[in-house]
Amino acid sequence: MDAITPTLPTAKLDPREDHVHIASPHAGLSLFLRHLAPANAEASAANRVVLYVHGGTFPSALSVAHRLDGGAWRDSLCAAGFHVWALDFHGFGCLSDAYPEMAEPADAGPPLGCAEVASRQLEQAVRFICERHGIARLSLIAHSWGCIVAGRFAGRCPRLVERVVWFGPIAQRSPQGERVRLPAWRLISLRDQWDRFTADVPAGELPVLSREHFAGWGEAYLDCDPASRTRTPHAVKVPSGAFQDIYDAWAGELAFEPGLVRAPVAIIRGEWDGMCADADARWLFDALSAAATRRDIKLGRATHLMHLETGRFALYRETGTFLLAGDSAQVPIGLASLGTLSGQHCLSLNVHSGWTPDVRKPCGLSGISTGGRLALVHDSSRLRENYVP
């Protein structure tokens, strides 16, 4: 898959940043990708790659690449040895082409950019990045609605996904009241964003987002839509498909099946996140029945926008630790026999027999006993060709 040469160059957020435009699954449109490589040549050659998937109101320049006090999240990821890529979905910012329908009245059609459509854009980006680096798979970091898109893609294309971090993910909830139906696109003002960013902080608690940081972020937010300052109040136009997916999930219809995701998944959320409460995280954790590894990490004094808040460094550290893996012991083992132990299925395995576990597949192993052989207790419903020669 070849990159497309843009008509006009785009201003870089970092002198080392690469900008790439690729063909979209939508005929005649292009998608924008930004890439920052590790500064260390040895780390760069290691080819650890992660792709950031943004949420439903602002693009990558305002999230993983946005600098607060001189540093951005992707700087931390690069320092940990990752090539950091980020995709802007159609209609978010002005670097990926907007849907042509966004030039029409909002009530002229259904919500634009729902999860299935966006997941095809994500797949296009992943295949391009993997080809560019000569790798079979990469890891994903997704936020909010982006977790729905990433989940749909990961379930459809498991061989392309190494590890997944969902922060502030959206879960399915029981229906409450009438269904919400949105137009094709909508406008979001700075007041809308400030209210959304601060609504979940309990009364009497110190703020977790500074006015100074929001002021700088807000100007950059308006910059991502050239027409934003022509509106009263100043506002950015975005596709409505993202929030339609969220409202549908809260009406009992999540746009992907978590049980199809096989890669290791970390759920990271803030204690004050009203869009991913304890019950939501538990539902997702339990629904990830095929995931090779599952984690549910709750950060104190954090909301749905934790990547822009005072506690963002905890999010950086938890994400980096999970993506670097190294959380499972590996030994050369060979499949010897399948028996039963205390009512559970049990694998009895010979050590040093020349077979190696494929740790990228769901295993379900839950215990080890010592001795000349290993007895690994597992849930047989999750053992699917987990050992390869």
- What pLDDT is attached to residue 6? 65
The dihedral sign for the CA sequence 93, 59, 251, 305: negative
> If you ran DSSP here, which 8-state letter would residue 100 be given?
G
- What pLDDT is attached to residue 329? 83
In this predicted structure, the answer to whether residue 275 has a pLDDT above a threshold of 60 is yes
What does pLDDT average to over the chain? 88
Look at 362 and 206; give whichever has higher pLDDT: 206
- What pLDDT is attached to residue 85? 98
Rg from Cα positions in the chain? 22
Mean pLDDT, rounded, for 43-54: 95
On whether the CB atoms of residues 190 and 229 are closer than 8 A, the answer is no
- What pLDDT is attached to residue 349? 36
- What pLDDT is attached to residue 7? 54
Please, what are the domains in the chain? 3-323 (3.40.50.1820), 333-388 (no CATH)
Q: What is the band of 10 on the pLDDT scale with cuts at 50, 70, 90?
A: confident
Mean pLDDT, rounded, for 115-131: 98
52 sits in which H/E element: strand 48-53
20-24, 203-207, 366-370: segment of lowest average pLDDT: 366-370
- What pLDDT is attached to residue 330? 74
377 sits in which H/E element: strand 373-378
Pairing of strands 30-36, 18-23: antiparallel
- Residues 145-197 have pLDDT tens digits of 999 999 999 999 999 999 999 999 999 999 998 999 999 999 999 999 999 99
Phi, psi of 93 (to 5 degrees): 80, -175
- Residues 67-106 have pLDDT tens digits of 999 999 999 999 999 999 999 999 999 999 999 999 999 9
Peptide bond into 233 cis (omega under 30): yes
User: What pTM did the predictor assign?
Assistant: 0.86
Mean pLDDT, rounded, for 288-293: 97
> Please, which residues have CB within 8 angstroms of residue 189's CB and are 6 or more apart in sequence?
233, 234, 235, 236
